[in-house]
Chain A
Amino acid sequence: MLTFSPPARFLAFTRRLLPWLGALTGLVLLVGLVWSLAYSPPDYQQKDSVRIMYVHVPSAYLGLFAYMVMAAASAVALIWKKPLADITARATAPLGAAFTFLCLATGSLWGKPMWGTWWVWDARLTSMLVLLFLYLGYMALANAFDDRTRGDRAAAVLCLVGVVNIPIIKFSVDWWNTLHQPASVIKPGGPAVDPSILGPLLTMILGFQLLFITLVLIRMQSGIAAAQIRALSQRT
């Protein structure tokens, strides 16, 4: 990447947006955490361990959402060859991997008291694990080439191939009737979750979503800075 002109409007926009976005993220997460951990009712059966859900569900959702963002950015990068799209895809991957890992880890902690086991080879758990491996494969492939653009392109193709896994994760609980419960928030006929739990849950999902956007923007800024440094050091 010999010539890299930083997207000035994007940088100016994010520089002004980020402080506000960061403050809003902190506020929503604080409200969500206090509401879900202290003021939401314990489950009649699961007692307080139901509160794991307030971290588990948002991170599962973001693990999938981050992959879709990455896939969309990869498609844009392959079709229109926009450098900013490559930077977006690279910025998203570690975040998605982290949220997927958080989902698997909290699920495991929740599974021990509820199902009596840390791990089952259930369809949804297995497909989530495959998603984590896809993220790891993406990051490994993107950094495996001496030529950075080559890594960008190869990883983008891999990311698009991996999209087949997303519907499998989403519908795994409907296709195979296994231990993990089916969809209960977004389903025909309204949520099957009590409003006293749905409120803090949706707040936490919003907080995680804002956190994700904030972190992606920060990572994109540093990605742009890194590309500028590379372009400068190649010129001399």
Chain B
Amino acid sequence: MIAVFLTVLGRDIRLAVRQGTDSLMVVAFFVVTVVLFPFGVGPESAVLERISAGVLWVTALLASMLSLDRLFQQDYEDGSLDHLTRAPAPLAGIVAAKVAAHWLTTALPLIAAAPLLAILLHMRPEGFAVLVVAMVLGTPTLSLIGAVGAALVLGARRGGVLVALLILPLYVPVLIFGVSAVDAAVMGFAYTAQIKILAALLMASLVLCPLATSLALRQALE
């Protein structure tokens, strides 16, 4: 079980690293979209500071959603997904490995870029550490929920657009608590409650989402 987990994890990371540009594209999308906001709402630092946490979270959420088709689409098309479902390990574990690889190759670069963009948006330095902690706890939840959506739309017409409609409503709790943790830290209030809720959301989705994803994958391959 552990061996299969590590094999799938290693395989997906190697594929992502060797294809290279895909991960970079996600970060590039994140940076360019965030940079658009000062043009859109004007360069006043008071306004930018107020919306910085929300802009960073919403953009990170969209970037992580755009990369979801990488999760299963290629394996579905070339048939390796059929083999993975017949591996001598529970499918939920394999799904967890694939989600972990997806998180390491797409969300981790986003988290690294976030404080830099926070400076561009004039966020106060008190928020930086909390922003990183909140994103470390929140983005795996996004990847886990996204995996359910990505598995559901395999073989659908216009799957890319459809996945947005399916999973963005489910992203709302992460967004609410992620933004409010950073806002509380910036204003000098306690933020541990929001961080704990983000951790709880992660725990719950860590248990439920791989199961739902493997159910969705099985019926996609029937």
Which residues in A have some Cβ–Cβ distance to B below 8 Å?
78, 126, 130, 133-134, 136-137, 140-141, 144-146, 150, 153-154, 157-158, 160-162, 164-165, 168
Contact = CB atoms under 8 A, between A and B. Distances in A.
Given A150-B219, A153-B219, A154-B219, A144 B156 contact: yes
Contacts of B173: 168
B1 interface: no
A140 B165 contact: yes
Interface stretch (B38-46, B110-118, B147-155): B147-155
Nearest to B209: A161
Given A153-B219, A154-B216, A141 B153 contact: yes
Contacts of B18: none
22 contacts: A130-B172, A133-B165, A133-B168, A137-B165, A137-B169, A140-B162, A141-B153, A141-B156, A141-B166, A144-B158, A144-B159, A145-B155, A145-B157, A150-B155, A150-B220, A157-B152, A157-B216, A161-B170, A161-B212, A165-B169, A165-B170, A168-B173
A183 B157 CA distance: 42
B219 A141 contact: no
B210 to A, nearest CB: 12
B215 A157 contact: yes
B166 A137 contact: yes
User: How large, as a class, is the contact surface on chain B?
Assistant: 20 to 34
A217 to B, nearest CB: 28
Majority secondary structure, B binding face = helix
A175 to B, nearest CB: 11
Contacts of A162: 170
Interface of B: 148, 152-153, 155-159, 162, 165-166, 168-170, 172-173, 212, 215-216, 219-220, 222
Contacts of A158: 148, 152, 166
Given A144-B153, A145-B156, A133 B216 contact: no
Contacts of A160: 212
Contacts of A157: 148, 152, 212, 215-216, 219
Contacts of B155: 145, 150
Contacts of B212: 157, 160-161
A158 B173 CA distance: 17
A133 B169 contact: yes
A126 B172 CA distance: 9
A161 B169 contact: no
Given A144-B162, A157-B212, A157-B215, A134 B169 contact: yes
A141 B162 contact: yes
Contacts of A137: 162, 165-166, 169
